[in-house]
Homo-oligomer: A and B are copies of this chain.
């Protein structure tokens, strides 16, 4: 049996993980309708003008502005209507002195016209239009390229595509976006005691919880989960699954990183890769292993579901966000008062899951083997490693789950 030798502090562990988590470089082209929230892998500048033509910004009449100068309600100007231009249609006749064309919002301004008189300022008998308001050139007209002129940078590499950025790509007729690929995270439960969901449990077996909690955290942080079958705790089986999934951007094992005869993950990393840390001064979640095999990041999470999930929030999620180039997020927090005195081990950061009720935080942590230590919680309190006691009634910050 091999004891964990040197526990490192949690913030040190986070720093090591983040230093190794490299932003994705591989790219892919996806349909614009799937681009929401993805990270652009390219600069996009427009070649075209949007709108591609001068257009009416109001329903009314396209005119030559100078024909309207001096027009008023008392002394209207009368122009002859030569055309009706609908949005999406092409004007058939140019506007010359003394003429106008009825025009709809968004429709192409005819040649010769330089402005639009709002319909509210006109009166028409069908062939002649009485204009009761003077307009200046450019009035009620969107110029060609007013929204986007050729050469305008619409998207920069690293931008997160939101509805309006996606809209700006649509505006120039682009159907796809070149984005960074999501990191693919292989999720591998180890241990002969782990049964797949739906199977009949054999004596000594429990269901696979960690693949499901880990996959959920992976999906919520911009990455893709490749959920692999349970593997036996043997060097050969684990080495084979590592080999077969070398295309993943990270492998996350659960189980098999504690101290015990049959803990194999450490062997695998020591033989084929580098151990970057083994053991964190955090509770729950101490027996956590992190390293690399041939450049691939490998986590060995504790098998206990609450330890595994708590580490996924603290260590894995920030790494995933860095890899997928999403901004860091802080979970939402509320302030509450501890409902009872809590003793914590000095030297270890403690994650204390709590349920909130009328401003009070009630500890619900049972044990790290119990998923309900987390599932029945509203959030958690972080007790720093240099604090050994939280008094009843003390105000604490609760990170919401």
Give chain A's interface residues, CB within 8 Å of chain B. 1, 32-33, 35-37, 50-53, 55, 57, 59, 85-90, 104-108, 119, 142, 146-148, 152, 154, 161-175, 191-195, 197-199, 201-217, 219-220, 225, 227, 258-262, 303, 305, 309, 312, 366-367, 369-372, 374-375, 377, 401
Contact = CB atoms under 8 A, between A and B. Distances in A.
B106 A206 contact: yes
Given A167-B212, A220-B36, A146 B366 contact: yes
Given A88-B191, A206-B51, A197 B173 contact: yes
28 contacts: A1-B119, A52-B206, A55-B369, A86-B192, A87-B191, A87-B193, A87-B262, A89-B192, A90-B202, A90-B203, A106-B191, A106-B193, A106-B206, A107-B193, A108-B204, A152-B372, A161-B216, A162-B216, A164-B377, A166-B212, A167-B374, A170-B197, A170-B207, A171-B209, A171-B371, A172-B207, A173-B198, A174-B197
B90 A204 contact: yes
A144 to B, nearest CB: 11
A148 B367 CA distance: 12
Majority SS at the chain A contact face: loop
Contacts of A197: 32, 170, 173-175
A53 B51 CA distance: 70
A98 B288 CA distance: 36
Contacts of A175: 197-198
A305 to B, nearest CB: 6
A220 B37 contact: yes
Residue with the greatest number of chain B CB neighbours at <10 A, chosen from A201, A207, A212, A305: A212
Contacts of A154: 372, 375
The listed residue with most B CB atoms (<10 A of its CB), out of A33, A166, A370, A371, is A371
Contacts of A53: 203-204
Contact of A212 (B33, B90, B211): B33
Rank and list the top 10 A-B pairs by shortest CB-CB distance, nearest first.
A88-B192, A88-B193, A147-B370, A164-B374, A87-B193, A163-B216, A168-B375, A90-B203, A167-B213, A164-B375
A61 to B, nearest CB: 13
A56 to B, nearest CB: 10
Given A36-B216, A59-B1, A88-B194, A108 B207 contact: no
A211 B166 CA distance: 10
Given A36-B216, A106-B193, A371 B168 contact: yes
Contacts of A90: 202-204
Given A86-B192, A147-B371, A33 B309 contact: no
A52 B369 CA distance: 13
For A86, A208, A309, the residue with the greatest tally of chain B CB atoms inside 10 Å of its CB is A86
Scoring A194, A197, A367, A401 by chain B CB atoms within 10 A of each residue's CB, the highest score goes to A197
